[in-house]
Amino acid sequence: MDVRQTGDEPVTIQHLLVRYAKRGKMRFASHLDVARAFERGVRRAGLPIAYSTGFTPHPKISYAGGAPTGVASEAEYLSLTLTSRTEADAVQDRLNAALPDGIDVIAVAEDTGGLPASRLTASEWQIAFPGLPLDDVVPVVRKFLALSEAPVERLTSKGMRRMDARAAVVSLEVLGDTRSSVLRMVVRHTVPSVRPDDVLNALRDVSDVFPAGLPLMTRLAQGSLGESGVVKL
């Protein structure tokens, strides 16, 4: 989509939707850390990024809500506004060369611009438990799904927040074998948000089968909620 504006506004030529991953060590980066890395990455990559007008111009990058610090993701999204047309594949290559390893661009596509919350209404998450047999987890999941509500609390920047982890969970399944198990869940985006660690805390209220400490959690997909699970963007 080409948008030409008059006056002091920069000329917007192209909107790009970027899907990126937060992997390995970089899962410990906060949402703000990732945003700073992208601003620098875009400059290092020499992309013709548009800037906002005003006293302190900022590069036009809009971010969807990020996976929590410490949680990995294969499905983070942001939107870039460029002032001259650039091939999506080239943008992906140049960004990947300019970003730290672990903040990896997976896909770039032309888009209408902006990331309204209505486009991203749910996420699919995975929690891995190496060493925990499938048979131990199956009854816990059944018990959780049978609950009418699962209240949990989490300390946020706005103070202690209370939410219903059960209500936000659209689906929850467990895969695995005799040696390990993996939880897969689709969780609705709510305010305050219910995160995978909140669901895990609700599961811990049901059973003490899960080992202490924070397991590896990954966002697998993000998009609008369709008939069967998450529809990717």
Question: Would you say 10 or 133 has its CB closer to other proteins?
Answer: 10
Question: Would you say 83 or 224 has its CB closer to other proteins?
Answer: 83
Q: Which residues, in sequence order, are CB contacts of 158 under 8 Å at separation 6+?
A: 192
Decide: 128 and 220 in contact? Cβ < 8 Å. no
Smallest gap from Cβ 226 to other proteins, in A, equals 32
Question: Would you say 57 or 114 has its CB closer to other proteins?
Answer: 57
First-to-final CA distance of the chain: 18
Strand pairing category for 151-156 and 230-232? unpaired
Question: Would you say 59 or 229 has its CB closer to other proteins?
Answer: 59
* 65/227 Cα distance (integer angstroms): 23
Decide: 168 and 177 in contact? Cβ < 8 Å. no
DSSP character at residue 60: -
Decide: 154 and 165 in contact? Cβ < 8 Å. no
Decide: 232 and 201 in contact? Cβ < 8 Å. no
Smallest gap from Cβ 215 to other proteins, in A, equals 9
Question: Would you say 44 or 232 has its CB closer to other proteins?
Answer: 44
Smallest gap from Cβ 8 to other proteins, in A, equals 7
Smallest gap from Cβ 31 to other proteins, in A, equals 11
Smallest gap from Cβ 23 to other proteins, in A, equals 10
What residues make contact with other proteins under the rule CB under 8 A?
8, 10-11, 24-26, 28-30, 32-33, 36-37, 39-51, 55-57, 59, 69-70, 83-84, 98-102, 213-214
